[in-house]
Structure 1
Amino acid sequence: MKSLIKGSMRGLAVLPFAALGALSASAQEISEVSAYVDNSYLFLIGGLIVMFMAAGFCMLEAGLVRKKNAAMQSMKNVALFSVAGIMVWLVGYNMAYPSETILGGWLGIPTFFWSPVEDLATGYAASSDWFFQMVFVATAASIVSGTVAERVKLWPFLIFTVFLTAFIYPVVASWEWGGGALDAQFGFSDFAGSTLVHSTGGWAALVGAIIIGPRIGKFVNGQVHPMPGSNIPLAALGTFILWFGWFGFNGASQLAAGSFDDINAVSKIFANTNMAACGGVIAAMILTAILYKGKVDATMCFNGAIGGLVSITAEPLAPTMGASILIGAVGGILVVLTVPLLDKLKIDDVVGAIPAHLVCGIWGTIIVAASYGNAIMIPAADADGAIGVSYMGQLIGVIATGIFVSAASAIVWFALKATVGVRPSEEDEIAGMDKAEVGLEAYPEFS
């Protein structure tokens, strides 16, 4: 091999300048193709890892529901992923990345049936990007699934998922990632989706939990009745899968890996993402030990990890590793404090998705401004006309997302409630959704 290299170098030494110029152009083209391949691989591998998060959500939810609902919860997660894929192809992707917007950039003009247009100039294979974006949409739907578990019928839930994945989520995503109003007018920054993905799912879940109501027996005579999950080890497995999946979620959101700077950025994102999860776990453990007389709540620990991960998702590149731990730790604390608050408000969130995804999504989005040394209080343009990240710009993004997602979700939930109905009968809910909706049980030997 060494002799071949030396021979090639001798050949280059005697080539005319014109030929050397041609080789230089050829090398440049090869470099472009190499970056194209590397970037596409980042999307594909990142997308595969994020797709595995669907299994994480499934295992976490199946473990945290009662055994009479575990089969139903498992099937819902497989079904919602399938619905998301079809809706993103049908209209969702083109809604999130519109070729034309109206209403000042707040709404993209939808076109149907996405199809790839491959072009070396884009820097990546079109289908690789589509796949990566599609699995993000499924994540938002999974958040809703866990919150409203054990008391929603299958088909109404899937109908809601259609609207969430085809319209609600894509509209919010378009506001920044599609170059819409939040990006253009307020400098809003959400690197991988603390608000655009997680808070979107969290707002939809919160509205659903309020409209559908709590499970039978959860709140009686002013008392909160705990309903422990059926399989804590399975929930722990789901947590680890989600933790693993987040490296694809955040890392591949760099959107490029074909240069020295980009691959270093991906590496730093991996490290910061991991540290935020660690901070969330330890903070949740310490706080539950303080609040519960030395007892460490395992489910709070699991959601502390998720809360830490959600918190760092809005900006996993700019902070130091130490700052990432602190950002994640605050997320873990918020999870522990929000769970009893929801109980006081009689909002039944079966898996704790609202604290982990909505509350921590808001926190992670606001704190982005602190990750930039020149962060300002209000949106302002620099000399080049670019609007910098500001606390007010981030807050506007949070509020706009909350208002739109809550209103749109409420319309869909109320419409379903008034037509096909969303809850099973009292008899079916008490018997369990496995028997009522699925026709089989997850643990028949324990019946």
Structure 2
Amino acid sequence: MPHPRLGRAVIAGVLVSLLLPAAALAQDGPSIGDLADQLNVTWVIVAAVLVMFMQAGFALLEIGFSRGKNVGAVVAKILMNFSIASIVYWAVGFAIAFGGGAKLAGDSGFFFSFGHTINAGSFVEGQITGSTAAFFFFQFVFCAVSLAIVWGTTLERIKLIAYPIYAVVFAAVIYPLVSHWIWGGGWLASVGNGMQDFAGSTIVHLTGATGALAALLLLGPRKGKYAPNGKPRAIPGHNMPLFGLGVLILWLGWFGFNPGSTLGTADNRFAEIVVVTNLAAAAGVIGAGATIYLLQKKLDVGMVGNGAIAALVAITAPSGYVEFWAAPIIGLVAGIIVVFAVLAIDKRIDDPVGALSAHGVAGIWGTLACGLFTSTRLAKYNGIGDPGLFYSGSFKQLGVQAVGVAAAFTLVFVLSMITFGSIKALFGLRVSEDEEDAGLDISEHGMYGYPEQFIPTPELEGYGALSSRPYAPAAPAPTSQEVPA
């Protein structure tokens, strides 16, 4: 039997061996500051992943608003544009957006890599802690969201070639310039005490919608959209459940979009912005639902969904600047506005998903709302701009916001018109009538998204309607109903 003293010695030795590494870790481990930086980086990456997941929301929303013969084309478009933008923003876009504090554009950080220096005066140099790579990825997914907004308006008739060309120009030049002017130390950051756009009502959403407007003016409406007398006809989407799921995914993604723009967890501000974002979105649904019901005596699904999106777009700019009480007001107004904007725009321009209204008009409203609702506390906390009219009694910040909207719209519209005009002249922007009748799935990609609905199945010959369906169906006859969204 072992001696008792030997047993105590073994136990003491084990305890010493366990305590020594812990003491060394306490002495040589990361500092509180390092741990804070790591926590901030973790939050920024989590938020960026939520924003990336919004691509799935855009895909489902657009698929839901498309006819069955065009659903596969949406998948190809989403994957292609996200991938092209990934490479181009890394190589060029990030440098122009954040590579120095010049007034018009950044000039350093091209082909961004670990350890790269960025010229003095940049937003990155002065305010980003932890990993610049995390900030880069966060900014890229914002660019990808803005690009995705462009294409929903062009459903069912645009040529595939337009995607890669415009994606390169957009990710390299158009989006980065607007981003630099407001977020990267550019000239709009020094108008007054600075333009307020916390998470991108103008930078992301108005930019995407403005590019879409340029495309639509050159592209024209879908075949059969307008009657000979000019009255719009409904071309209903094929799947409202998918549309609804897309809206909910976008709503979820916005909790990365707005709160993630804190770029850290200090003072738990990101949690307050979660609440602000959700209050606005809920009010947008109520505002749009009530408005369309009063107008048409029906609770239109498309309008209700667009009410949520419009409110989320509107609260994006003021989300870091307004108190809780202002969020439902901003969202409610956005929900009301989007209904009237969709109905008005549809009379002249064929926008199948209502993006010009939900991202463009609502983006303008949200940006201007900073000039009304920004609180004294949060203007001081962020160090950008001045309190809004309802706190200061001054129109100063509202004027700054209006200048920013006008400048961003003008830049994006001109550059987008030049780009799409060049594509139209060199390659053509629109598919042929036969290709449009057949659907972009088969004419542009060689396979239907729902092949069993369109391609005859030999083993079912003689067993029902499937055996007699044509390979390339004609477009369904449009009705005289108004388009809901």
- Tell me which residue corresponds to 1:396: 403
- Tell me which residue corresponds to 2:145: 139
Q: 2:443 aligns with which of 433, 436, 439?
A: 436
Gaps of at least 5 residues in structure 1 are: 1-22, 376-381
- Tell me which residue corresponds to 2:251: 243
State the secondary structure of the residue aligned to 1:171: helix
Structure 1: how far apart are the matches of 2:39 and 2:240?
Answer: 39
Instruction: Report matched runs for 1:53-92 at 5 Å.
Output: 53-92=54-93
Deviations 1:136-160 (A, max 9, x none): 0100111011011111011222211
Q: 1:188 aligns with which of 192, 195, 198?
A: 195
Deviation at 1:202, TM superposition (A): 0.6
Structure 2: how far apart are the matches of 1:168 and 1:200?
Answer: 8
- Tell me which residue corresponds to 1:333: 336
Q: 2:304 aligns with which of 295, 301, 305?
A: 301
- Tell me which residue corresponds to 1:218: 225
Instruction: Report matched runs for 1:102-181 at 5 Å.
Output: 105-109=103-107, 112-117=110-115, 122-181=128-187
Structure 2: how far apart are the matches of 1:315 and 1:183?
Answer: 16
- Tell me which residue corresponds to 1:202: 209
Deviation at 1:61, TM superposition (A): 0.5
State the secondary structure of the residue aligned to 1:108: coil
Give the conservation status (yes or no) of the 8 Å contact 1:118–1:125. no
The alignment's TM-score, normalised by the length of structure 1, stands at: 0.87
Deviations 1:249-274 (A, max 9, x none): 001101111x3x1xx21001001101
Establish whether residue 268 from structure 1 lines up as the match of residue 272 from structure 2. yes
Give the conservation status (yes or no) of the 8 Å contact 1:157–1:422. no
Structure 1: how far apart are the matches of 2:62 and 2:148?
Answer: 9
Deviation at 1:220, TM superposition (A): 2.3
Q: 1:228 aligns with which of 223, 233, 236?
A: 236
Q: Which segments of structure 1 move beyond 4 Å, counting only runs of 4 or more? A: 118-122
Deviation at 1:46, TM superposition (A): 0.4
Q: 1:417 aligns with which of 412, 415, 424?
A: 424
Deviation at 1:110, TM superposition (A): 5.9
Structure 1: how far apart are the matches of 2:215 and 2:421?
Answer: 9
Query: Relative to 1, partners in 2 of residues 1:220 and 1:111: Cα closer, same or farther, differing over 3 Å?
Result: farther
- Tell me which residue corresponds to 1:8: none
Establish whether residue 291 from structure 1 lines up as the match of residue 295 from structure 2. yes
Deviations 1:334-389 (A, max 9, x none): 11001111122x211111111000100000000102223469xxxxxx9xx97536
- Tell me which residue corresponds to 1:371: 373
Aligned length: 409
Deviations 1:87-117 (A, max 9, x none): 111101111102252xxx1233365311123
Query: Relative to 1, partners in 2 of residues 1:271 and 1:240: Cα closer, same or farther, differing over 3 Å?
Result: same
Deviation at 1:446, TM superposition (A): 2.0
- Tell me which residue corresponds to 1:350: 352
Amino acid at match of 1:256: G
The alignment's TM-score, normalised by the length of structure 2, stands at: 0.81
Deviations 1:384-427 (A, max 9, x none): x9753601100000000010000000000100000011111111
Amino acid at match of 1:417: K
Amino acid at match of 1:324: A
Structure 2: how far apart are the matches of 1:407 and 1:265?
Answer: 37
State the secondary structure of the residue aligned to 2:234: coil
Deviation at 1:163, TM superposition (A): 0.7
- Say which one has the larger Rg: 2
Give the conservation status (yes or no) of the 8 Å contact 2:85–2:168. yes
Structure 2: how far apart are the matches of 1:235 and 1:311?
Answer: 20
State the secondary structure of the residue aligned to 2:31: helix
Quick one: percent identity of the two aligned structures? 40
Structure 1: how far apart are the matches of 2:355 and 2:204?
Answer: 13
Structure 2: how far apart are the matches of 1:347 and 1:147?
Answer: 10
Structure 2: how far apart are the matches of 1:117 and 1:334?
Answer: 47
Give the conservation status (yes or no) of the 8 Å contact 1:117–1:126. no
